[in-house]
Structure 1
Amino acid sequence: MDFPSEIIIVPILFIGLPWLIMHYVTKWKTAATITTDDEDLLGELYQLAKRLDERMDTVERLVASDNPDYQPARLMHDRETDNQQLRELDRLLAEKKEAR
């Protein structure tokens, strides 16, 4: 008596294949997201960068007040085009915190 191949093929098609597809779809979705620890670290790094930017502005103002020939090499202090991006980041961070 021959072993019917339908006993193997049917479960593979209706159980194994959908399970395999769903397994990799969920792996793909979770790999594309950032973890909350990563978000917290990015927030801390952003705050640190803002503080360092403010300190750099202060240093440049102090050097410029002592030396009238000094020309700052970086962006001008409190330029609207520079601060617009920072305000957008602040808004996005605030929205993230409210969503939690």
Structure 2
Amino acid sequence: MVEGVIGIIVAPIVIFLIFVAPIWLVMHYRSKKQVAQGLSQEEFAALTELANKAEVMAERIQTLEAILDAEAPQWRNRA
């Protein structure tokens, strides 16, 4: 009875240690290496483009808010 329960517990642990753990370790340290290397040229370019678009969008929002403040001063209280 006890041997059956131990077998049920030991079998998944052994399978995990043989198959899953090594793959998990390799993938973990591979991703750590990529993070340590920093951004690639493409990623940096995409990040720069997104930052520029965010700045333009912030300016447009400020302009729209200024127009709304001038034309409908109570617009902020409606929300």
Q: Distance in 1 between matches of 2:49 and 2:42?
A: 11
Residue 73 (structure 2) aligned to one of 68, 83, 87 = 68
Query: Which of 33, 47, 51 is residue 46 of structure 1 equivalent to?
Result: 51
When the two structures are aligned, how many residues end up with a matched partner? 48
> Over aligned residue pairs, what C-alpha RMSD do you find?
2.5
2:64 to 36, 55, 59: 59
Higher relative contact order structure (alpha carbons within 8 Å, sequence separation ≥ 6): 1
- Structure with the largest fraction of helix: 2
Deviations 1:3-46 (A, max 9, x none): xxxxxxxxxxxxxxxxxxxxx8xx553x1222011011100000
- Segments of 5+ residues of structure 2 without an aligned counterpart are 1-25
Task: Give the TM-score of the pair, scaled to structure 1.
Answer: 0.41
1:7-18 map, 5 Å = none
TM-score (norm 2): 0.50
The amino acid of 1:41's aligned partner reads: A
State how 1:20-99 maps to structure 2 within 5 Å. Answer: 28-29=32-33, 31-32=34-35, 33-71=38-76
